[in-house]
Structure 1
Amino acid sequence: MKNKGLLLNWTCIKSSQKTFNLTLYLCFIMILIRKAK
């Protein structure tokens, strides 16, 4: 049972990390677009 909770926690961290990376990537694109204008 403890292992299952740990696994859920790990999955949660991993998915939030992906979302964070995506957000950073989108911000980077926005900055590039603004500089190009």
Structure 2
Amino acid sequence: MRVAFYPTIASVLDSARPGHKLRWLGLFLFIIGFQFDLLAS
């Protein structure tokens, strides 16, 4: 578990593209949340 966790942290904190995967995850969650809000209304 710990061995597989460190490369993930390293890729998120990569100095060449800081937070790049987190940005994509945030955009994905925003779109999914918007769709749920649209369905609920």
Normalised by the size of structure 1, how large is the TM-score?
A: 0.63
Q: Considering only CA atoms, is the larger Rg found in Structure 1 or Structure 2?
A: 1
Q: List alignment gaps of at least 5 residues for structure 1.
A: 29-37
Q: List alignment gaps of at least 5 residues for structure 2.
A: 1-13
Pairwise CA RMSD of aligned residues? 1.2
Is residue 2:10 matched to residue 1:17? Answer: no
Q: Which has the higher contact order (CA 8 A, sep 6+)?
A: 2
Deviation beyond 2 Å, 4+ runs, structure 1 = none
More helix by share: 1
